[in-house]
Structures are given as C-alpha cells and as structure tokens.
Amino acid sequence: MKQHLEIKTRYFLPVKTMIVVAGVLAVIVVTTSGFKDKYSFTNTDAIYDDINKDSIESVEAFMQVYKVLMSPRCMNCHPAGDHPLQGDDSRIHTMNVRRGKLGTGVYALKCSNCHQPTNVPGLHTPPGNPKWHLPPADMKMVFQGKTPHQLALQIMDYKQNGHKNKKQLLEHARDTLVKAGWNMGEGYTPPPLSYDAFLTAWDTWINKGAYAPKP
C-alpha cells in the first residue's frame, strides 16, 4: 500500500508543474500581445526572437525614428497624394510634378531630369542622388498624416513596406537615398536627429522587437 502511494505521487507531480508553467506562459503571452498589433512579416524572419525583446525600449526608439520620418526631408517624398512635397512647409512640388507608376515621375517631368546624381551647387537647388524617386503607385508607403502607431505598423508590414524583411529594413536606413536627407545642399533644414542617432534609434526599434506605440 505504501509502495503504491509513492508511485502515485511521482506520477502526478510533473502534471502539476506543467499546469503551473502553462499558466505562467499564458499570462506572458496575453501581457505582451497588448504591446503590438498584427504584422504580416515573412515567416523566416527572426523578428519575434524573444532574446532581445524590450517593448518599452523599442517604442521609445521608434518615437525618435518617427520625428525623423515626419520631418520634411523624409516625409516630402512619402506624401499622401500623388505629388511630391517641397520645402520645410511641405507644399506641393513646383511644376506639379507627379509620382507616376514607378515613382520616377511622368513624361518630361521625371525626377532625374532635374535631380542629378549629386547636389547642384547653390541655395535651394535640386538635391541629388542617383536613385531619386518616390514610392511607386502600387505601394505608396505614405508617411504624411500617419500617427506613430500607424506608421510603425506600416513599416513593419511586408505587404506595405516595399516587401522588405527585417534585414532589408535595417539595410534600408543605410541606403544612400535615405542618407541624402541629411545632405541635401544649401538651404535645406536637416532632420531633427543626426544621421547616426537616427540609425541607432532605427536599429534599436527593430532589434528590440519592432513594437508599435499604442494608438
């Protein structure tokens, strides 16, 4: 009889432990899911790797990123409409330049007709980059008018971000066209963070879990 009881005890202990562990995991899942919305990232991404996640640090970093993305140097080429914007007041680009299907302008008004591979000397002359363009018409990647919550979700959404995975998003911040925002020539106010500070914030936001600020 005594022997029978010992066997019974050994059998039930792991079950109780598993129930407790499962309960703790459920609490963790419910708690963390409150910080982020649904992303449609590719399955191969390690974006949800738990090792480095920190929702508070990630959101704080995004709020720094957001200030840069909403500055005229970035937002002017991510307009809500089909015309690029211009100047620190983000007015419609002179000549009513249009986005076009590919984001490179239309007819005689294609971006690279005026925007050269490098800046043109002089005050408020066309800034330069070999890849000057807007997002294409089928994926406009609008910044203008977006809240931090909306913009974070959009950037992390593979279906809305130019089909970029985590690695490509990290690389995108190092693209020469992004970097051009900090060196557009005479008369252009740079974004509110230095380029290096922006890169640090961008990487932190993504590497700490790419959390979206609450709506």
Partner 1 sequence: MISLDVNQKTYQVDADPNTPLLWIIRDVIGLTGTKYGCGVAQCGACVVHMNGEAVRSCVTRVSRAVGKKVVTIEGLSKNNNHPLQLAWQEIDVPQCGYCHSGQLMSAAVLLRENNNPTDKDIDDAMAGNICRCGTYLRIRKAIHLAAEMQRKGIKNG
Note whether 32 binds partner 1 by CB under 8 A: no
Q: Cβ neighbours of residue 104 under 8 Å, at least 6 residues apart?
A: 110, 111, 112, 133, 134
State the pairing for strand pair 91-92/105-106. Answer: unpaired
Cβ proximity to partner 1, 12 vs 107, nearer residue:
107
Least distance in angstroms from the C-beta of 102 to partner 1 = 13
Cβ proximity to partner 1, 5 vs 108, nearer residue:
108
Note whether 109 binds partner 1 by CB under 8 A: yes
Cβ proximity to partner 1, 52 vs 118, nearer residue:
118
User: 3-class DSSP state for residue 110?
Assistant: strand
Choices 40-48, 102-110, 149-157, 187-195 (CB under 8 A): range interacting with partner 1:
102-110
- Binding residue for partner 1, selected from 31, 52, 94, 189, defined by CB under 8 A: 94
Half-sphere exposure for 201 (CA within 13 Å, toward CB): 18
User: 3-class DSSP state for residue 95?
Assistant: helix
Task: In whole angstroms, give the CA distance from residue 76 to residue 51.
Answer: 37
Least distance in angstroms from the C-beta of 189 to partner 1 = 19
Task: In whole angstroms, give the CA distance from residue 100 to residue 22.
Answer: 53
Q: Which residues bind partner 1 (CB under 8 A)?
A: 94-98, 106-110, 112-114, 116-117, 120, 122, 124-126
